[in-house]
Amino acid sequence: MLNSTLIKIARKDDLLKFFIFVFLCLTLLIAQKEFRYSFPLKNYLYFWVEPIRSIPDVTFRWYQQFNKFFSALEGDLQSRVDYLEKQNTILSAQVRQLPIIKQQNKELFTLLGVKAAVPNFNVKLAEVKYVNNNSVLREISINLGVDDGIEVGQAVIDAKGIIGQVKYVGLSSSKVLLLTAPSVSVSVYNKRNGLRAITNGSSTGLRLDAPDTGLNILVGDVFVATGLGNVFPSGYPVGRVTKIQSDRYVIRTQMQPVTSLQALKKVLVLKKN
């Protein structure tokens, strides 16, 4: 009976009737307390008052059940949110790395394609650990050593040109002198007209000295290795002419390596077949 009354009030959404109902409930509670001496009246009041008394207890128990349900639901949703945030962080990092991975794959395919340009050599792919390009000591360290078949004197190249020559071999790493080191010399010829010469490392890059001032050398000429000594692959690029100075006795040619020696990441070590 009480439940049907509440439902009717809730359906009509009549605030005034709700307050009247609350007032009657309070009146019954007070009346039951005041008229304890009258047994019939007490029983009659008990019939009406007891359901009203049970409302707070029932409401509180339902509140506890709903609170447990929503707490569990909130915990589950928070776990899902944490998982999705973690996955989003991982995916975001992978998306940012995707262009880098594509570029690395492109560089690897380019390096692997070099094998066709050096058919008389076996090639080993090496990773550059560090580059030391100061004015005194110009070298790089690679992650291959004795265990990988690396030997002193082997040529080191990349997809663009010659880089240098192995000077020290350890168990799992080696050091490579760059072309720009003063002690490195390469027999070369001019790709445009076949002029032969020898390049040496210098403080400005590469130097080519020729005693004949009438030699046909132009800025932009590319010099490639002759292959003498079977160390460097014949026809592989070495340097490009950037500046020419001459006087009565000698012509001095400044060149730069065709590959950037400061940004090396992966290189190929050559071994004669």
First-to-final CA distance of the chain: 103
65 with 138, same domain: the answer is no
56 with 140, same domain: the answer is no
Band (22; pLDDT cuts 50, 70, 90): low
State yes or no: pLDDT of 108 exceeds 70.
no
**Mean pLDDT taken over the chain:** 78
63 with 127, same domain: the answer is no
Residue 42: burial class (beta carbons within 10 Å; 0-12, 13-18, 19+) = middle
Query: For residue 38, what pLDDT is reported?
Result: 47
4 with 40, same domain: the answer is yes
87 with 193, same domain: the answer is no
Most confident of 74-83, 117-126, 140-149: 140-149
> Last residue of some domain: 117, 144, 171?
117
State the pTM of this model. 0.61
Chain segment 230-243, per-residue pLDDT in tens = 899 999 999 999 99
List of E strands, 57-203: 121-133, 138-142, 155-157, 162-169, 174-178, 185-190, 196-202
12 with 67, same domain: the answer is yes
255 with 197, same domain: the answer is yes
> Last residue of some domain: 90, 117, 144?
117
Query: For residue 21, what pLDDT is reported?
Result: 65
109 with 138, same domain: the answer is no
112 with 14, same domain: the answer is yes
Name which of 185, 267, 268 is nearest 228 in CA terms: 185
Cβ atoms < 10 Å from Cβ of 158: 21
Domains of the chain: total: 2
96 with 158, same domain: the answer is no
Domain containing residue 243: CATH number: 2.40.10.340
236 with 254, same domain: the answer is yes
User: What's the domain range around 142?
Assistant: 120-273
91 with 125, same domain: the answer is no
